[in-house]
């Protein structure tokens, strides 16, 4: 049994729902979960009508809504996992046990899928990348929408890295090599970006521990741990 989960909010819902319902998979083993976060009542009604259309064709579609948008897409996915009929998730193909082991969906960044994938990796789950599979995707309809999309995709990973650096550094499953890369990156960020910024922008003030002790400690640890 698998579940194809669709988080809907201003997307081209007909194409998304149609693609999920048209999967080449035994109908008795497929659940299409539509998580509709639409705030427009007219659009929400249209999405529900589209779901009913596929239900009448014999597809097991579950239409779910919320009375709030807490957590945005990650919040909707988190709520969707609480349903007893859910067996799998998206993006890609996830085992429900992997999602649970990693702590479920979190709304702390705009890249909830990357957040979940990193946490699952730290828990020891392995991933298989299928690079030769071509799928359709939806492009932003305007340049403004494209800029917003790229902004989210750029800021999201950076924000996630900031929040998970400690977890990655102290995870026993992460190799010493990867920890060294992170340590070197942090040192570079301090010496080449943060400290020069304090010189160029007088309003930026760093306390002594941040400006001296932390970079110095990281540098010493790098020197000690780096192979000759």
Which sequence positions are flagged as catalytic?
Answer: 37, 113
Distance of CA 86 to the CA centre of its chain: 19
Q: Return the exposure string of 63-84: e unless at least 16 CB atoms fall within 10 Å of the residue's CB, then b.
A: bbeeeeeebebbbbbbbbbeee
Instruction: Determine the Cα–Cα distance for residues 8 and 191; give it in Å rounded to an integer.
Output: 43
Q: Could you tell me where the beta strands, DSSP code E, fall in the chain? A: 2-8, 30-36, 61-65, 88-89, 94-95
Q: Are strands 30-36 and 2-8 parallel, antiparallel or unpaired?
A: parallel
Give which of 89, 59, 60 is closest to 76, Cα–Cα: 89
DSSP structural state of residue 140: P
Q: Are strands 88-89 and 94-95 parallel, antiparallel or unpaired?
A: antiparallel
Q: What are the backbone angles phi and psi of residue 4, rounded to the nearest 5°? A: -100, 110
């Amino acid at each position: 049994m698998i579940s194809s989960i669709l988080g809907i909010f201003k997307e081209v819902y007909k194409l998304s729902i149609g693609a999920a319902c048209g999967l080449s998979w035994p109908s008795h083993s497929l659940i299409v979960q539509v998580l509709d976060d639409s705030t427009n009542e007219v659009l929400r009604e249209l999405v529900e009508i589209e779901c009913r259309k596929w239900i009448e064709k014999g597809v097991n579609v579950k239409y779910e809504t919320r009375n709030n948008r807490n957590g945005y897409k990650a919040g909707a996915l988190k709520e969707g996992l609480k349903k007893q009929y859910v067996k799998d998730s998206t993006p890609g193909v996830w085992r429900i046990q992997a999602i649970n082991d990693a702590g479920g969906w979190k709304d702390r960044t705009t890249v909830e899928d990357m957040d979940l994938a990193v946490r699952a990796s730290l828990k020891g789950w392995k991933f298989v990348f299928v690079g030769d599979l071509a799928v359709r995707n939806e492009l932003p309809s305007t340049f403004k929408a494209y800029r917003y999309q790229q902004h989210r995709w750029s800021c999201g990973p950076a924000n996630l890295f900031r929040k998970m650096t400690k977890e990655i550094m102290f995870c026993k499953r992460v190799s010493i090599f990867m920890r060294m890369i992170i340590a070197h990156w942090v040192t570079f960020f301090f010496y080449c970006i943060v400290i020069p910024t304090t010189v160029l922008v007088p309003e930026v003030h760093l306390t002594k521990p941040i400006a001296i002790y932390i970079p110095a400690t990281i540098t010493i640890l790098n020197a000690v741990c780096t192979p000759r």
